[in-house]
Amino acid sequence: MNKTVNNQIRTIITQYIKYISKIIQQHINKGELKSRTEPYQNMVIRGDLNYSKAGIGNHSMEIEIRTKQVWNHVEETTLSESFTKSDESKKFTQDIYELTKINLNEHNQIGNLNRKIVSRILSKKDLEKEIISPLYLDITDGIHESIAQVEIAGLTLEPKKIQLTPEIELRQPLKEDLEYEIHAVPPPIRHPIFERPDAILTITKSLKGNKVNILQKEIDTIISALQLTDLGSIKYKRYTLKSKTLLGCFGGTISTINTLSSNLKSHIEISEIKPFTEKFTIILNALKINKHKLKSTPLETAMEFFKESIVEQGKISKKIAESIMSLEALFSNSTHELKFRLSTRISKLIGLINKQPKETMNLLKIAYDIRSTYAHGSEIGKKLTKKINTLTGSTNELRKQIAEILRISILVMIQTTKTKNQLLELIDNALISNDKCLENELKNITV
């Protein structure tokens, strides 16, 4: 669109918003639209959070009673609907369509838009900054700054914050992250404290109004990159999305069904910031570039089982069995001598990266025995338990080590330039000869 058309669009939007604002004020002056003052409880923190490697420590929360101006929701909705039916609204949608070919009548976009406009005006938002300019950007395909704030469990930080990428920041929780407001029920009651995050992940992106849902998809990719960067029960409980867009579907708090608490925590020291950040960036880029690979059944399943395997809650033998099944899917292309092929192939691969082949083979053989036991519905016997304790000290420690092997395997499969069968062929050739092709393929893979 040229400058003249853009100026026309801004003028049309400005006139429409000012018209709605004027009518709302008239309703208020006539007493046809009334607000009421209601009490709210603010749960505020006194003192320090006592943050450490273990996360947020004990802290005290106190109740502060405040009042808040609240508008009648039914009256607000009725008013929005009256605007949608008005001649001014019809003229606005027609003018916008003639200039941009955007049909605001489709999917009742104009109705949703009017509700947001009325809500922002009643909330005393700045007309220019919070309504006119954002709507202008939406209609002219402009860019909004959109923010996602994610509550993370399973990862604590020694530094106050880490700038992982220009768009992604990881930081310690602040008091305001835990403080919240609820409608007061006389007499004031103390509500249960929300589960406490170990860290806060903030993602800031410049996006078009109708593209802000990209942020929601990106959160999962970033969490996956964090999990694959540093083994720990990293996950999220809830995240808040913020954007000024009026036409885009955006805003609010989204929660997962996971519990936020996590037994297995990773901790980033100040001295680890640079290597952690570099590794995270490489893995995140690899996940984005090769996202088509994660849609393949073996790798997609392996990633799901990996996420389960790093959480300590649940039956350990099941987690080990699922990890082995994932490794089978990644490294097997036949059912012949499955246990032997799996352990030798992975041992060779891991041995070229960062582990002793013999140690890896022993871990996999015992884990495979647990997988067979679990598949037959049996419990781990005394003989197998003794082997596990001798090798790793406990079944839970074996789970962690098998999860680490799975983590490395997933990263190899994501970053390799070879297909699954081509990579397996390289591994098999390396097992029977001094062929360096596998070693060369692994040189550019970050784990």
User: What is 350-386 written as a DSSP string?
Assistant: HHTTTS-HHHHHHHHHHHHHHHHHHHTTPPP-HHHHH
C-alpha pair distances (Å), 407 with each of 227, 228, 267, 317, 401:
9, 6, 18, 18, 10
83, 84, 88, 94: CA torsion to nearest 10: 160
Q: CA-to-CA distance for 316 and 225, rounded, in angstroms?
A: 24
Blockwise average pLDDT, block size 10, the chain, 447 residues: 91 97 93 84 86 86 84 87 95 96 92 94 93 94 89 92 96 90 62 72 85 81 89 75 80 58 71 94 92 79 85 84 92 78 92 84 93 88 92 92 93 92 94 90 91
C-alpha pair distances (Å), 188 with each of 37, 70, 172, 192:
16, 19, 31, 13
Question: Which tokens sit at 291?
Answer: 């996202």
DSSP conformation class of 210:
G
Question: Which tokens sit at 332?
Answer: 């097997």
Q: CA-to-CA distance for 267 and 269, rounded, in angstroms?
A: 6
On whether the CB atoms of residues 86 and 129 are closer than 8 A, the answer is no
Beta-carbon contacts of residue 30 (< 8 Å; ≥ 6 apart)? none
Q: CA-to-CA distance for 230 and 288, rounded, in angstroms?
A: 18
CB-count exposure of residue 360 (10 Å: 0-12, 13-18, 19+) = buried
Residues β-bridged to residue 267: 156
Question: Which tokens sit at 261?
Answer: 């608490």
Q: CA-to-CA distance for 309 and 304, rounded, in angstroms?
A: 9
Instruction: Please tell me the predicted confidence (pLDDT) of residue 185.
Output: 59
C-alpha pair distances (Å), 84 with each of 24, 81, 437:
14, 5, 67
In 3D space, the residue among 262, 53, 66 whose CA is nearest the CA of residue 179 turns out to be 66
Instruction: Please tell me the predicted confidence (pLDDT) of residue 257.
Output: 46
Question: Which tokens sit at 78?
Answer: 């009725």
Domain ranges for the chain: 3-34+72-141, 37-65+143-287, 290-447
Q: How many CB atoms lie within 10 A of CB 48?
A: 10
